[in-house]
Structure 1
């Protein structure tokens, strides 16, 4: 499918790849991993042809269709509804649809055999390309990615960046490429959408190459791992967990070989020193020197998983109750978030606040931090000192400061050594710490802001998506740091591996209340999978837009009630399917009538009614299948 042979790619004097090799086969599910700066995104761009190799080659199968999702797609703008943007994936079908409409319009005023022949040809091709179902497929993919029916009618430009990225993902998936190249696809997805994408990619018949820092996502999707490191591409025949285990074994062997070789080298060097001064042994010494020069040296193992050598400090211990929430109400015009919600955060709690986007997670963090208005009572306890990290904290950075100066001004009690150690954990090594804030990328500023938050003299941390822009190594560093933190924190994140390793309580917002699960994320997942939960439509809207949305529907109180409701709807849908099937057959009979066929106006009207009835039938049949699956799921519990 794709063959990378002796690939070399230079950036300035640095070889990002040096005679690297890799072969991607049809149907493979591959995770492309490696530390930031090792060239993962660059390699994807080389594959799609955005960049040209310095030497070597990238060979692709003829007519290979590549779907490439990258962060640059966030800049795409359109006034079209998102379902129409997604349907841009069907270029040929859209062209045929336009041509069919134009021919039908012409037939109203000028009838000819040539136009009828062209119409027939276009309609046959349109049907062969499944043109009558493209809108349904677009709706299906968008619904899986969290868009309600109302949302799908809204213009793309009214959505925030994360939601626009979902539309671009839907557009790529609808193209049904032979291979998907996905660069951090979970960055802008909430947990329900990540799970949906896992299922979709698991059933996807083409090949998939994923760059991601989400370990759980990789483990559930990929069957093979390729590591980008030191200019080479090293394959491992398993998912991310297998890679870690296999790499550990390889490193143990390599470490043993290195030690053995070093011992041999030292022994040879001692013999050379002993015999070099003796004339009778000089020849032997020279022979051994040449042998050492020709020896293939085994490299020592680099430590890719450094441990945290930075400790949190806070001068005050908080009281037992850190935050008390009572009768909390919060809403935007037409968008209820919280109603009479209660909750309590106690000393030592490590809380993960999870759920779908638009449910109010970030809003709740802002309320707790005191940066958002609300009705009700939210009180910090005795001696509580808090710090709040969010992506908006980037605006508080001083642009003229260097990275090191920014941390020194915020945390003067820390030594330069400690601060540089912390910055190293967040990928700022060596002279990087002397870069000015103003020259940093958005991701780099985010890492500076996170490092800054961790130096605060705070016994209560509020962190909103702290793992964004971090690679897997840096996420591990943050996990270690939070595990040794003796204070209290509440965190919003969609990285399940991260949450499972740092949280001892799970909060989620449901029915406008704060719900609490006392356990780890993995335990919560097991518990949550066994209960019947309400599924209100998502609200993917910029907060500042405050768009008017429908009130959530009343939630069924138990499984029996929900089962009755589903059965009633199933019966209605069955009747609807029968009616639509009858309509489609009647119109097909009408279209076959020579009288209709020879009258342009009647043919146009009949054809339009046929397309509408066929699309409605497809949607009704799909709804019937969804309802039947839902009924079976409840009955099996």
Structure 2
């Protein structure tokens, strides 16, 4: 499909790739990973032809259709509705539709066979291209990405950058390309939209290359991991979790080989030194020196996972109640976010505030942080609470003429320079990087400096709005370690589920304009939420509740006939349960088969089939219980 051979690419004096190779095959769903600056986005631009290789080749079929999502699409501007913009994906269908409309108008005055034949040909082609369903498909994908029917009629220009990116993603998905190149597709998506996109990409029949720092997202989609590191592309035949295990194994082997080689080199050097002065051994010594020079040296393993080695310092601990919200209401024109709600943040709480965009997460966070005063009710800080608020807009508060190190020294004088350089190293500022001026940094680099400042503040309460934006996986791991060590209290908004699952001990979400709390981890919340019938299957629940009433109200259907039919339905359900249970057991046995778990692709397919069968079994059993209860109620 796409063949990358001996690729070399240089920017100025910097070599991003050197003799790199990768063959993207049909059906590949690959995650392209690596540290910030490793050239991941650059490689996608090389594939689509935006950049030209310094050496080597990138070859592909001429008719290969590529769908490429990149952050540059944020600049796309249109006054047309987002539905219209999304439907621009159907170039040929739109052209045919316009031609058909023109022919129909001509047909009002010209009944010639030529017009009729042309119209027939155009309509046949339009139907063959599924032209009558393109608007429905556009509606469906836009709805999956979080757009209501009303919003789909609004002009693209009225949406913020993040929402515009969703429209561009919809347009790319509607093009049904042979291969999707997605550069950070989850950056501007909320959790429901991320889950929808996961489901869509899992069933996508073409090839996919994803650049992402969301490891849960990668794990659910990819069957191959490609690491961009030190100018090379290293391929692992599995998802991100497989990559971590396989890389650890490879590094263990490499480390042992390095140690063995170093021991051998030292032994040879001692032997050479011992006999160097003896003329009778000169030939032997020279031979061993040449052998050492010819030896292909094995590199030691680099540690790509730095650990946090600084301690958080705050002058005084807070009281038991950090923040108390009482009778809080918040509205915007034509939109009510919160209504007479309350909650308490207690000392030691690590709260993840989650939910779809537009449900009020950022609003609530700003109220908690005292950044929004225009609300009804009270938000009271507790005894000795000292707070730091991190949000993307605070990048503007950085002092442009300061160096990175000067910025932190001025902000956190209680930390030593060594400690500050250590935390900057964690956020990818090493060596002389710490002396760079703030004004020359990119947006992502400024974000990392602002986050480093927040973590060195003399604060026992942190309010963090999307702190993982612009961080690679290594930096996200550092932030996780930092927050796990933090002895204060924090509340965080993030769409990175791996991050949330490793830092939060409570989940907040907004439902029915009320602040709701789940007392557990994000993973536990997801399991609990999946079992909520009102959330997952409202239509089914509504049907079950109404059905008995309808039957009782029907004079032609007496109680015995209702019971007879329900017993029949129960028997049918039991047969389906037995059949599905058999499928689940077969798939469980398959997962234990070495031929399956030894093959990453087969394992992924079998796991997906198992999860689907298990979910079906759970639904059938729930339906059986509901029906059995109805029968008992009628029989009683």
TM-score normalised by structure 1 residue count? 0.85
Partner of 2:129: 129
Compute the displacement of 1:404 (Å): 1.5
5 Å matches for 1:27-106?
27-106=27-106
- DSSP-derived class of the 1:23 partner: strand
Equivalent residues of 2:261, 2:298 under 8 A apart: yes
Q: CA offset at residue 634 of structure 1?
A: 7.7
**How far apart are the structure 2 equivalents of 1:231 and 1:439?**
25
Q: Which residue matches 2:565?
A: none
Q: Distance in 2 between matches of 1:635 and 1:197?
A: 28
1:504 corresponds to = 505
- Please state if 1:291 is matched with 2:263: no
Deviation, structure 1 residue 85: 0.3
Are the counterparts in 2 of residues 2 and 25 from structure 1 also a CA contact under 8 Å?
A: yes
Aligned to 1:141: 141
Distance 1:562 1:321, change over 3 A: farther
For the residue of structure 1 that corresponds to 2:533, the secondary structure is: coil
C-alpha distance in 1, partners of 2:52/2:132?
Answer: 40
Cα separation, partners in 2 of 1:459 and 1:562, compared to 1, 3 Å:
farther
Any idea what SS the aligned residue of 2:318 has? Answer: coil
Partner Cα separation in structure 1 for residue 310 and residue 156 of structure 2: 44
CA distance in 1, matches of 2:436, 2:76: 31
- Alpha-carbon distance between aligned partners in 1 of 2:621 and 2:341, rounded to the nearest angstrom: 31
Output the aligned Cα RMSD: 1.9
1:89 aligned counterpart, secondary structure: coil
Match of 1:403 in 2: 404
Structure 2 partner of 1:175: 175
**Alpha-carbon distance in 1 for matches of 2:548, 2:138:** 27
CA distance in 1, matches of 2:542, 2:370: 41
- 2:251 and 2:416 map into 1 onto residues whose CA distance is 34
Q: Distance in 2 between matches of 1:566 and 1:43?
A: 57
Aligned residue in 2 for 1:376 = 377
Structure 1 residue 568: Cα displacement:
12
Deviation at 1:110, TM superposition (A): 3.2
Shift of 1:468: 0.4
CA deviation after TM superposition for structure 1 residue 560, in Å: 4.5
Tell whether 2:439 aligns with 1:438: yes
Query: How far is 1:68 from its partner?
Result: 0.6
Aligned 8 A contact 2:225 2:243 in 1: yes
Deviation at 1:562, TM superposition (A): 5.8
Query: Secondary structure in 2 aligned to 1:110?
Result: coil
- The answer to whether the 8 Å contact 1:563/1:634 transfers is no
CA distance in structure 1 between the aligned counterparts of 2:41 and 2:352, rounded to whole angstroms: 30
Q: Residue 22 of structure 1: CA displacement?
A: 0.5
Residues in 2 aligned to 1:356 and 1:560: alpha-carbon distance in whole angstroms: 23
In the alignment, what sits opposite 1:462? Answer: 463
Tell me the SS of whatever aligns to 2:248: helix
Paired with 2:544 and 2:389, the residues of 1 have a C-alpha distance of 44
Asked if residue 153 in structure 1 is aligned to residue 168 in structure 2, the reply is no
User: What per-residue deviation string (whole Å, max 9, x for no partner) do you get for residues 537-556 of structure 1?
Assistant: xxxxxxxxxxxxxxxxxx97
SS in 1 for 2:88: helix
The structure-2 alpha-carbon separation of the partners of 1:294 and 1:565, relative to structure 1 and needing over 3 Å to count, comes to farther
Query: What does residue 425 of structure 2 align with?
Result: 424
Whole-angstrom CA distance in 2 between matches of 1:83 and 1:310: 51
Q: 1:567 to 1:158 in 2, by over 3 A?
A: farther
Question: 2:333 maps to which residue?
Answer: 333
8 Å CA contact retained: 1:411, 1:456? yes
Equivalent position of 2:232 in the other structure: 232
Q: Is the 1:506–1:516 Cα contact (8 Å) retained in structure 2?
A: yes
1:166-245 equivalence runs, <5 A: 166-245=166-245
CA deviations over 1:395-417 (Å, ceiling 9, x no partner): 21112222112112211222222
* 1:313 paired residue number: 313
Report the 3-state secondary structure (helix = DSSP H, G, I; strand = E; otherwise coil) of the residue aligned with 1:326.
strand
Higher relative contact order (CA 8 A, sep 6+): 1
Quickly say closer, same or farther: Cα 1:155–1:402, change in 2 above 3 A: same
SS of residue matched to 2:36: coil
Q: How many residues align?
A: 556
Aligned to 2:524: 523
Q: 1:567 deviation in Å?
A: 12
Distance 1:334 1:568 in 2: 37
In 1, Cα distance between the equivalents of 2:233 and 2:256? Answer: 23
Q: State the shift of 1:3 in Å.
A: 0.7
1:215-265 CA deviation, whole Å, 9 max, x = no partner?
111111111111111111111111100100000010000000000000000
Indicate if the aligned counterparts of 1:559 and 1:634 stay in contact, CA closer than 8 A: no
Aligned residue for 1:59, secondary structure, equals: strand
Deviations 1:127-170 (A, max 9, x none): 11001100000000001111111111111111111111110000
Alignment of 1:7-18 (within 5 A): 7-18=7-18
Q: Is residue 533–residue 541 contact of structure 2 (8 Å, CA) maintained in 1? A: no
Q: 1:16 to 1:434 in 2, by over 3 A?
A: same
Partner SS, residue 344 of structure 2: strand
Secondary structure of residue in 1 paired with 2:424: helix
TM, length-normalised to structure 2? 0.85
**1:490 to 2:491 alignment:** yes
- Measured against aligned partners, the alpha-carbon deviations of 1:563-586 in whole angstroms (never above 9, x if no partner) come to 4579999xxxxxxxxxxxxxxxxx
Q: Distance in 1 between matches of 2:40 and 2:546?
A: 49
Is the CA contact (8 Å cut-off) linking 2:534 and 2:541 kept in structure 1? no
Identify unmatched segments of 5+ residues in structure 2. Answer: 551-618, 627-636
* Displacement of 1:633: 11
Equivalent residue, structure 1, for 2:614: none
Whether contact under 8 Å (1:4, 1:59) holds in the other structure is yes
Gap change, CA 1:21 and 1:354, over 3 Å in 2: same
1:283-306 Cα shifts (integer Å, max 9, x gaps): 111110000000010100000001
Q: 1:181 to 1:530 in 2, by over 3 A?
A: same
SS in 1 for 2:298: coil
What are the Cα deviations for residues 292-332 of structure 1, in whole angstroms up to 9, with x where unaligned? Answer: 00001010000000111122110110001101111110110
Shift of 1:561: 3.8
**1:164, 1:523 → 2: CA distance?**
33
Segments ≥4 residues shifted beyond 6 Å: 565-569, 631-634
Change (3 A) 1:71 1:634: farther
When residues 25 and 100 of structure 1 are mapped into structure 2, their CA distance, relative to the original with a 3 A threshold, is same
Q: Could you tell which deviates more after superposition, 112-121 or 444-453?
A: 112-121
2-structure distance, mates of 1:328, 1:352: 19
The residue aligned with 2:558 is none
1:346 paired residue number = 346
Aligned 8 A contact 1:81 1:155 in 2? yes
| 1:269–1:10 Cα change, 3 Å | same
